[in-house]
Amino acid sequence: MTAFPRGATPVSPVGPVAYGLSHEARNLHWLLTNLVEEVPGVRSVAVVSSDGLLLLSSDPRLAHRGERPESPRGSTADLATIVAGLGSLTTGAACLMDGGLVKQTMVAMDEGSLFVMTVSDGSLLGVHAEPDCDMGVVAYHMALFVGRAGHVLTPELRRELRQSVEAVG
């Protein structure tokens, strides 16, 4: 079961993604929506499985009080592809450098930032943020998400999430 902040009530996500999902899947959607809504400067978020498949993504229409933020090419699927590629690249680099496991990667760009954090099962959490975001706050909230969600990403739940993404897409 996913841990929620004291006093928080998990809510079902709105839209076709919510229909028929398990309690655990709805809770992960709630955590992801909360990350987007509560952390200033976050444009979009994607959770990618260890094999590079999109499991969860933010709905840009929900972010920042209804304003549609710009994400890579306007798609969290594109963000998921970038996150999977960057995760693979950094894992390869760490292997070549005998660096151990990659925990977090951050890319600062003129017009935005990209954060990638490893989830306990090898999945990746990716966040595309505004260039002036507070990087410490973004990283902190990503770590909270990983801590709350990482232990529930079982093979069954990953399969359910992947099927829900395919049904919407």
In a domain, 76, yes or no: yes
Domain that holds residue 85: 23-168
- pLDDT class of 18 with cuts at 50, 70, 90: low
In a domain, 14, yes or no: no
Asked if pLDDT for residue 24 goes beyond 80, the answer is yes
- pLDDT class of 12 with cuts at 50, 70, 90: very low
The CA-atom distances, in angstroms, between 166 and each of 52, 63, 99 are: 14, 22, 35
In a domain, 52, yes or no: yes
The number of domains in the chain is 1
In a domain, 12, yes or no: no
Cβ(84)–Cβ(52) under 8 Å?
yes
Q: Which of 4, 32, 8 is nearest to 18 (CA)?
A: 32
CATH code at position 99:
3.30.450.30
CA angle 129-89-138, nearest 5°? 20
- The average pLDDT across 132-141 equals 95
Tokens representing residue 57 in the block: 């993504």
In a domain, 83, yes or no: yes
In a domain, 10, yes or no: no
In a domain, 16, yes or no: no
In a domain, 159, yes or no: yes
Helix (H) / strand (E) element for 129: namely strand 124-129
Q: What's the pLDDT at 162?
A: 87
Global pTM value = 0.79
CA-CA distance, 84 to 123, in Å (whole number)? 9
Q: What's the pLDDT at 19?
A: 55
Other Cβ atoms less than 10 A from the Cβ of 77: the count is 16
Tokens representing residue 96 in the block: 């070549």
DSSP summary character for residue 12: P
